[in-house]
Structure 1
Amino acid sequence: MFQDRRDAGRQLAGRLGHYRDQPEVVVLSCWPCREGASPWPTRWPGPCAPLDVSVVRKLGLPGHGEVAAGAIAAGGTRVVNREVVDRFALPAAAIEAVAEKEGRELERRERTYRAGRPPLELRGKTVLLVDDALATGASMRAAVQAARPFGPARLVVAVPVAPADTCGALRSEVDEVVCAFMLTVFSAVGQGYADFTQTPDREVLGLLRQAASRQGETYDG
């Protein structure tokens, strides 16, 4: 479906034209906080919209890191995938151990990406939460829960590819779900990409600097 994340961003942007040039739109990208950098600083429907990151970490099942037992986000938000926990009889201590490890990485990335800069103001805004793909949706649910207390007027989930049932479940939690390709058979988050290579922090920071320069801000990371 997609050559890489930038191609995915361009195609997803085509589904978000109704948000083009709206003054109250903010984009929060979950992409840098997982496997790769977001294309949104340069390839989204409203190029002047503020862009920030939503720092989220998946709680991988011990021994099976790609299976999400839940997710955590900045501000102490935690989502537990009860179906996975029950299916694998995962004890609470195991979840806590993974959460502690991922919490340290979340804090490191929060410091790296923000470089002392406070999060963008979300109150009264239309917030587009974007990710490169969804599987169970645990990471996106954590991002949604982390954003909601800041009082956005509207929360929109936007992803290039995801299982149809995950999109359906998320529709009850946000105002809109936009997915370029919904799959009935889903095996892995990278199955829609020819190139799903990880992106280093320096490239993420470069993209954030580009976005900040258009907003008159400074990233010193």
Structure 2
Amino acid sequence: MRESRFADRDEAGRLLAGAVAARAPELVGQGTLVLGLPRGGVPVARHVADALDGELDVLVARKIGLPGEPEFGIGAVTAGGPAVFDERTLYQFGLDAERLAPDVARERAEAERRLHRYRGDRPPPVVANRPVLVVDDGLATGVTARAALRDVRAQGPARLDFAAPVCAAQAADVLAGEADGVYCVTRPADFTAVGAWYRDFAQLTDADVEEALAAAAYRPRH
């Protein structure tokens, strides 16, 4: 029987928040920095930050698509970290990092643009020597999550974890080599795509991300 889908990102975020708080209680009340991956990961991360009494911010990671098929992700890059590629896919299509350098530059510039829009004049959050949790609305291939985690790891967090409501089992296993903990509400055996596990998986806008961040900024901290 197929597992139940999440109603929307709000429900998924609340369920993920409960799962993380129960499985990693050491993250609660310890000033954990929760970094949502825009756009879909931010409303999910907001609930997690609430449950952990943590700080919510964003980390923008951009997919690098297969030339001619931009929706087929073969890598990812953040505004400040190194590009990460699926090496098997590169080999399969006869590609290398040099060939994809223009794509990397374009997506890095877009990551910088979005980060500036979401954060504005606020300084970046402190990462060094504190627990950090990266959150997305789902984990499919894991390449975007790997780029995000490597960016954060280079900044010296005390510990680094990843969480998503739904995870492809293989990707979650691979990500365990990048994060100190990987938390998922469900790892369905018949995973196909992240959106298939939501009844409402509407495309979000930059305004949706800004609204979630603004609401978190005014949340009382204990």
TM-superposition CA deviations, 1:150-195 (whole Å, max 9, x none): 2111111101111111111111221100011112333222121112
Q: Which amino acid aligns with 1:156?
A: D
Q: What TM-score do you get using the length of structure 2 for normalisation? A: 0.87
Which of 108, 113, 118 is the equivalent residue of 2:118? 113
TM-superposition CA deviations, 1:33-72 (whole Å, max 9, x none): xx56423334545363111101110112123333221100
Which of 173, 177, 185 is the equivalent residue of 1:180? 185
Gap regions ≥5 residues in structure 1? 217-221
Is it true that 1:22 corresponds to 2:29 in the alignment? yes
Structural mapping, 1:33-72, within 5 Å: 35=40, 37-42=42-47, 44=49, 46=51, 48-72=53-77
Deviates more, 1:12-21 or 1:46-55: 12-21
Gap regions ≥5 residues in structure 2? none
- Against the structure 1 CA distance between its residues 215 and 59, is the aligned structure 2 distance closer, same or farther, given a 3 Å change threshold? farther
Percent sequence identity is: 39
Q: Which amino acid aligns with 1:153?
A: A
Equivalence for 1:75: 80
Q: Which amino acid aligns with 1:210?
A: A
1:195 aligned counterpart, secondary structure? coil
C-alpha separation between the residues in 2 aligned to 1:203 and 1:82? Answer: 34
Q: Which amino acid aligns with 2:20?
A: L
Equivalence for 2:12: 8
Is it true that 1:193 corresponds to 2:198 in the alignment? yes
TM-superposition CA deviations, 1:83-128 (whole Å, max 9, x none): 1111122354552232222122112101101102121111221111
TM-superposition CA deviations, 1:11-53 (whole Å, max 9, x none): 1112112256422311011132xx5642333454536311110
1:156 aligned counterpart, secondary structure? strand
Equivalence for 1:145: 150
C-alpha separation between the residues in 2 aligned to 1:3 and 1:145? Answer: 31
Equivalence for 1:157: 162
* Paired residues of 1:132 and 1:161 also in contact (CA < 8 A): yes
Deviates more, 1:17-26 or 1:167-176: 17-26
Equivalence for 1:31: 38
Q: What TM-score do you get using the length of structure 1 for normalisation? A: 0.88
* Paired residues of 1:68 and 1:84 also in contact (CA < 8 A): no
Measure how far apart 1:196 and its partner are.
Answer: 1.4
C-alpha separation between the residues in 2 aligned to 1:61 and 1:103? Answer: 16
C-alpha separation between the residues in 2 aligned to 1:187 and 1:66? Answer: 15
Q: Which amino acid aligns with 1:199?
A: L
Deviates more, 1:177-186 or 1:36-45: 36-45
